[in-house]
Homo-oligomer: A and B are copies of this chain.
Amino acid sequence: MKQEDTKQKILDKSLELFSTQGYDSVSVGEIAKAVGIKAPSLYNHFPGKQAIFDAIVESTVAQYEVDTGKIDIHVQNAKQDIPVFTEITEDALFEKVRQIFEYSLHNESISRFRRMMTIEQFRSPELAALYTRRYVERILDYHAGIFRALIASGEIRSEDPDALAMMYVAPVLTLIGVCDRQPERESECLEKLQKHVRLFFRMVHDGSRQRGEKQ
């Protein structure tokens, strides 16, 4: 096996172990065994256990843009996604959210890294900041940008795109958290997700139709 292949395999197996047990509970012996080598051989690829963890963080952060590009989301510049949201139907919006939701849960590296970060978020201020940036702020900023444009164009009604983004995004984050802990509840969470998207859609689009139904 090539040198770089082994190095990558160490990263993969380490992430797999770290994401379920946490950094401290995993021994270098365990990692080595999962990779198929003996513990001392690990030190030909990394200077120590902490270096493996650091490399995982660094490389996953780097690959973030690549992966998110695959599902047609570009957090960097939300503007190019605004047309997707304009004039979208309720069902199409849910389908879009469902796609991102399931991708986040089932993509192994994405999901494992998120769970590892959840466990290790208090390990250092840097990790804490990374967690908030990646799993809260960027998602909020992205959606706030879209909502800001939709408000300006009169597509939806509201005065606060940031608060609107929080209201739209936070339930999704909460449901992802539930599924990370209890994957067996995914279908239940998908239903809640659909109800959420439905309610949100109806609230931001001119509510007169819905109120008309009630009265």
Contact = CB atoms under 8 A, between A and B. Distances in A.
Interface residues of A, number: 48
A125 B192 CA distance: 21
Interface string A1-40: 0000000000000000001111011000000000000000
Instruction: Report the copy number of this chain in the oligomer.
Output: 2
Contact of A199 (B158, B169, B195): B158
B119 A181 contact: no
A129 interface: yes
A181 B122 contact: yes
A128 interface: yes
Interface of A: 19-22, 24-25, 115, 118-119, 121-122, 125, 128-129, 131-132, 136, 157-160, 162-164, 166-167, 169-171, 173-174, 177-178, 180-182, 185, 192, 195-196, 198-200, 203, 207, 210-211, 214
